Homo-oligomer: A and B are copies of this chain.
Amino acid sequence: MLEFMHESSYGPKLRGLTNQERIAIAKISYELLEGCRGYFNHRDFMDVSPQVPRITKATGSCENLNTTFPLRFFDKPAYLAQTEQLYLETLIPFFKKVCCYGPSSRAEARVDARHICEFYLIEFEEAQESEGERLFDQLLADIQGVIQAMISRVFHTAKEDLGILGVNEGLLKLACEPFQRITYSEAIRQLDLPWCTDLKSADEERIVKSLGNRPVFVTHFPKEIKFFNMRDNETDPRVVNSADLILPYSGEAVGGAERESDYLKIRHKLLGSRMFAQLEQKGGGIDDFEYFLAGLRKRGGIPHAGCGIGFNRIVQYVCQLPDIRLTTWFPIYKGSIF
């Protein structure tokens, strides 16, 4: 059913998959999930998937509300969640370390090798005793830890499936070494891009190749191009303590940050954000964030950080697939629902 004819700089010419290959991808996905669960169990994260909502107010949107699917919830406007991060944040005072698994929906009309309108998203948030560099380092250690646990599990339990897909194991094993790290400032200097440019797929590919075709954290993005809940850096107020993990094949696969935990600061950031302007254009307002803000006002101030792991991009990377639509049995994109 899936036949993709364009070329990728990473893979051979694309073609439809055999059933054997589709089964191998699904099995590797399963082992990746198991590896992820093992890491979260080991690190005492509590899975709160049944606690968090999928039909949401604008609180379930990421930074671009225009890519959130609208929905009629009886007499009220609602959305299909893109992220649970703000809900996870409200649970931090109660559980300290939480994670969840579930669908993330994105109304992206563009059809290409790196986007689908529905993907599986793994998210976690964790509290720490202190803010700043130590918390940020712990976040990066956990992102690296969970990705490595996932891949390590696949090497132990799905070797045969990697073989069926013809995966270059040497290339994949580079993920078992410490991840590379580069700041946004340094990245745009190397790419010769102006400040505040968001990185495109081709830019991500260049960075990854220049650092040896292995996972790379790009850190400390300008606050203007990131979600409102990220915490400003202590020494450079132009940037936030954020990190995107860029992978070969799939590009940006994880987006994480230290969160702002001060009620007044975050309210100010929310009201000044591009997403909030979009919400007001649609007739919405601060009421959409009532629950989130009330929680912070009452129990805020706990330093915490978290991230979202785009599971299908991990699968694409591990299976070395030229197109993200090959990562799931029922790929949803414009013109394709089942």
Asked if A46 and B30 make an inter-chain contact with CB atoms under 8 angstroms apart, the answer reads yes
Chain A interface bracket (under 10, 10 to 19, 20 to 34, 35 or more): 35 or more
Q: How far is the CA of A118 from the CA of B84 in the complex (A)?
A: 15
Asked if A27 and B46 make an inter-chain contact with CB atoms under 8 angstroms apart, the answer reads yes
Asked if A338 and B109 make an inter-chain contact with CB atoms under 8 angstroms apart, the answer reads no
Q: What's the number of copies of this chain in the assembled complex?
A: 2
Asked if A338 and B33 make an inter-chain contact with CB atoms under 8 angstroms apart, the answer reads no
A102 within 8 A of B: yes
Q: How far is the CA of A311 from the CA of B26 in the complex (A)?
A: 25
Q: How far is the CA of A49 from the CA of B50 in the complex (A)?
A: 14
Asked if A338 and B69 make an inter-chain contact with CB atoms under 8 angstroms apart, the answer reads no
Query: What string of 1s and 0s marks CB contacts (under 8 Å) between A89-121 and chain B?
Result: 001001100000111010101000000011010
Chain B residues whose C-beta falls within 8 Å of the C-beta of A335 in the assembled complex: 74
Asked if A51 and B103 make an inter-chain contact with CB atoms under 8 angstroms apart, the answer reads no
Chain A interface (Cβ < 8 Å from any Cβ of B)? 19, 22-23, 26-27, 29-30, 33, 37, 46-57, 59, 69-74, 76, 78, 80, 87, 91, 94-95, 101-103, 105, 107, 109, 117-118, 120, 291, 311-312, 315, 328-330, 332, 334-335, 337-338
